[in-house]
Each structure stands twice: as structure tokens, then as C-alpha cells.
Structure 1
Amino acid sequence: MMDIQRKNIKYNFLKTIIVRFDFQGVFDSEMEKLLPLIKPYLKEKNFTRYTRRKNNTLEVNFDSAVLQTPILNNVQNQIIHSFINDDSGYVLDISNSFVCLNIRSTSYSPFEEYSDLISYIIKFYKEHIDFFSVTRIGIRKINECVLKDKDKINEFFSQDYFRYFSLNKDVHNFFSDKKDTFGFGDNYKGNLSCKIEQGKINSTEHYKLTLDIDIYIDNTQLINKTNDYEIKLQEMNNIIFDIFVNALTEKLKQALITNDNDFEFNDELLGVERNE
């Protein structure tokens, strides 16, 4: 099996990165004092737009002893502050219970860049708000590409990850979604979705493949023992990379590390971009 390292990869089909910290102990009044401290830093990082929105949150109570209509209470309007960097495709959502960085870009986003950014924001909270406590840290990466020929899926991707149900030649597959929820070592948990969707491009059948990897830690005691959140993010990012590489065949691995001007299988596998 080919030993492939992140630095060797010249092409990717990573479409979305989501990094999220959930926490508790922050009052709305404290948010109003924190935002003026964060804004100059984000301006330095080329965030140029700001929007403010409200998210409705509900608490639903069920009485397990009897069958009854669930009781809805504690309806709250949570204020979300969104900062946008149009050049990099970064959208940073800040609230009194979470910070979430969404990255949607066709160009490669270095891990160190977005890891430093969100870790620095969390340090603002930790340094300026008493009783601040992180409850969960997670990274999710969504890889997407499109194949023209269904029969070539396992030329590029492992059958352990992507496989259509097959009974006989009369079976016509439209959709497949393999899902796993797992623990990784003593500290981390994960969700993995490997999806195949049939669709059409210019009246021709194509197959969209989605490799969606979500790794997180929700051990609050362990999280809050560390002063360096980037270490946790790096560990989770390494797990995601190992899963990603394991999902590929040797044929696709070799194509992704080959430093040519054009991706070798451009005619068969769409959506693969060169790392800049």
C-alpha cells in the first residue's frame, strides 16, 4: 500500500470544511463587550462583511411515562454574528454558545491558516469571560466528485467505503448512503458518510460521490485541560486525513500526487482541483 503524506498531494476534491467549538458560560451582555475586541483581528485577516441574524432554539420535553403531545418551552432567539471573507470563502459565525468557521472554496485552504484563526478567537473568549468552558470541538470535511461511469467507482474508491447494492443485471441503482458512527482511541468520536447519487449532466447520467468525515471530541474535562486547542485540531485533522486516504484506491492516490499540469483522469472524474 502506498504511503501517502499530505504534503505530497497535488490535487483535491475537498469542497467544504467546517470547524466548530461549542461552549457554555457566556452571557449576552458579555458578547457585546467581546465583539469590539474580536473585530480588529478579523479585519486584519481580510474579513470585510458582517451580518447579524437570529436563530430560534426550542427545548422539547417528552414525558416517557405516558403518550402525550410533547411540550415546547424555552423558545429563545439566539443572535449569530457572521463575518465573511469573500476572497478565501471563509464565513465565521460567532455566538454565546458556539463559534463555527465554514470554508467553501475551490482553492486549497491550508490547515494552519484556519486552525490558527478559530483557535485565536476561542482564546478571546477564554481570556475575557469568566466560567467559559468548551464542551465540544469538531472538524468536518466534505469531499465531492462526479464520475461518468458507475462501473468505475471502485477503480478510484475502495469497496469498503463506496459500493452499490447488486443482486443481478436487472438492478438499477439510484442512491447509496453508507453511514458509520465510531469512536477513535480513548478521546475522539466520528461520523462517516459515503454517498453515491445518480443524476444527469446535459442529459447524460453521472454519479456524484460524497466522502463526508466528521471527527469531534466532547470530553469537557479533557478539552479544558489544554491551553493549546490547535493540538486537538491537528490530531482530529490527522484522523480525517487517514480516513480519506484509506478510502482511495492506489490508482487514485497516484493520480493525486502526480505533479502534472492536468489531473490524469479529468475525462472520467470531475470536480478534482489542483492545489494552489
Structure 2
Amino acid sequence: MDDTELDQVISSISMELKKHDYTSRTVETEKEMQFEFNDPESGDYAELYGKKIREQKVFVFHNENPQIKLSISSSCACISIEETKYVDCLKHCDVLWKVMSIIISEPEQVPFFIFKRFGLRKINQCFLRDINRLNEYFEPSHYHVFRIQGEDNIKEKVMQIRDSLEIAGYNANLIRTLVRGELRGEEAYQVNYDADMYLIDSQSIKELMENKEKIMQMNDWLFELYKDAVTETFLNQLIDGSFDKDMIIGVEANGEDTV
């Protein structure tokens, strides 16, 4: 849909979101990268494909929880949640479906609306003070430090491993990154784990809207991927909170929700 069509349905969307603890709305302008959709991976490897940039209007709805916001533009709708503890994202997906249902139910205002993508994306970030202890926390199959035996003059600056997968009929992008920097004046490494599971077939997305079990399946797979990236020792420490808080920073104990 275009900006004019979005303007025609935004009032109905606003009224619905007020029922779900969204308390205010702002309008922003953001730059959007437009990709060719004829290749399913074109959005994932943007540098390989033609692209252009345009500015678009974005309605941003702010939840009473300041860590939650819902953004809607003519090209996408996205709920962003920033939390250090486990969050059940499924209830937020339900809100997103209600927004989509409003758009679908008004074909006179939005006659050519189609689904192009639905995804769940989870990004975890923490800081590690001693890179030599990396694999006490994260599995070497996901994170490693470049070494040459007997050579001490090599230091990792950036490590990135990227996988594009198909899992149980879903697409998945998995990115693991290490970045050397400073934390409170001392050398530290930022550890990022970025997992994105998605569908790009319009009919499959419609079926998913009608069967919430499929969203739960996507969420469960993301959890399995995350657990595969951390060591069993660290996973247990996340349950009982016994990890070294001076060594690994930016994580919190999640109890049984971790598993």
C-alpha cells in the first residue's frame, strides 16, 4: 500500500492499539532501502543487487512499557521489544495480527494490499571482557577467535559468521558477530547473536495468521537455535544466575524461561 492508503486506515489502527496499552503516537520520516523482490535473498545480500533509497512516513505507536513500540509504514509493520529478560513475543504477534486484520478488512481503502514477508527476529547482545574465555560461554561452532599457533601478535578485530537456512519450511538468517572495542576504558568484545526466521510466500503467511501454532513453532525454533549457540554450562548459569557478572556483561538470569 502507499502512504495515502495508510492515512485512510491509521485512525482505525490507532483505536485498536489503544486497547492494547499503546498510549501515544508520533510520526517520523525514515529512509527505506527498496530491494528487488524477484530473488528471495535480495534483501539479505543487498550489496549484490540493485537498490534505491526513498523517504517514507512512519507512524510510531508507543506502549505504556517504554521498551515496546509498534511502527507502521506503507511497506511494513514492526513491533520492537527491548528487554534483558525473556519476553513472550506471541501476545505481541496477536496485536500485530489485529492491525493486519484492520487493513485487510478495508479493501476499498487498501485495494492492492498483499503480504510479502512475516518474520520473528531475536537479537541478543552482551560484552565479554576476556576473549580467551569466549568458548566458556559460546560454542566454537558459532563463535571462534582466529589463531596461528605460536603467534601472539594477532588480535581479532571483527568476527562474523552468517548462515542462510531452511528449517521446517521456514527461511532463517543466522548472524553471529564479535567486535573488539572498549567498555569503561578497558578492552572488551561485543558479542551479537541475530536470528531471523521468516516466510515470504503470501499464501503461507495467510495460513499462519489462521493457525497460531505455526508462530509458536517459529518461536520454538528460534529458541533452539539460540540454545545451540551457548554452552551447556552457560545455559545452566543463566537459569540460576551464577555466571561471572564481571566477565560477561549485559545478560540477566532468566530462570526456567531460559530452557
Instruction: Please indicate the TM-score interval, normalised by the length of the shorter structure.
Output: 0.7 to 0.9
Alignment CA distance shift 1:79-1:231 (3 Å):
farther
Q: Of residues 65, 68, 84 in structure 2, which corresponds to 1:106? A: 84
Q: Tell me the residue number matched to 2:45.
A: none
Deviation at 1:226, TM superposition (A): 4.5
Q: Check whether the contact 2:162–2:174 (CA below 8 A) recurs between aligned residues.
A: yes
1:209 is displaced (CA, Å) by: 0.8
1:142 maps onto 2:120 in alignment? no
Please say if residues 238 and 254 of structure 2, whose CA atoms lie closer than 8 Å, have aligned partners that are also in contact: no
In the aligned structure 2, how far is the partner of 1:27 from the partner of 1:151?
51
Q: Determine whether 1:213 maps to 2:191.
A: no
Partner residue, 1:82: 60
Higher RCO (CA 8 Å, separation ≥ 6 residues): 1
Counting aligned pairs with the same residue, the percent is 26
Q: Is the 8 A contact 1:58 1:72 kept in 2?
A: yes
State which of 226, 245, 251 in structure 2 corresponds to 1:266.
245
Q: Cα distance, 1:245 vs. partner?
A: 0.4
Structure richer in helix, relative to its length? 2
* Contact 1:115-1:230 at 8 Å conserved across structures: no
**CA gap 1:77/1:270 in 2 versus in 1, 3 angstroms:** closer
Between the aligned partners of 2:161 and 2:91, the Cα distance in structure 1 is 32
SS in 1 for 2:146: coil
Give the SS at the match of 1:105: coil
TM-score, normalization by structure 1: 0.76
TM-score, normalization by structure 2: 0.80
Distance (whole Å) between structure 2 residues aligned to residue 201 and residue 96 of structure 1: 39
Equivalent pair of 2:234/2:243 in contact (CA under 8 Å): no
What SS class does the counterpart of residue 140 from structure 1 fall into? strand
Q: 1:34 to 1:152 in 2, by over 3 A?
A: same
Is 1:52 the equivalent of 2:27?
Answer: yes
What aligned pairs does 1:1-276 form with structure 2 within 5 A after superposition? 26-55=1-30, 77-85=55-63, 87-129=65-107, 130-168=111-149, 169-170=151-152, 171-185=154-168, 187-228=169-210, 230-258=212-240, 262-275=241-254
The alignment yields a C-alpha RMSD, in angstroms, of 2.7
Task: Name the aligned partner's letter for residue 210 of structure 1.
Answer: N
Aligned length: 237
Shift of 1:112: 2.7
8 A Cα contact 2:161 2:177, kept in partner: yes
Runs of 5+ in structure 2 lacking a partner?
Answer: 37-49
Query: Alpha-carbon deviation of 1:224?
Result: 2.7
Q: CA deviation at 1:134?
A: 1.1
Question: In 2, distance between residues paired with 1:228 and 1:205?
Answer: 49
Q: Using the TM superposition, name which of 29-38 and 155-164 deviates more.
A: 29-38
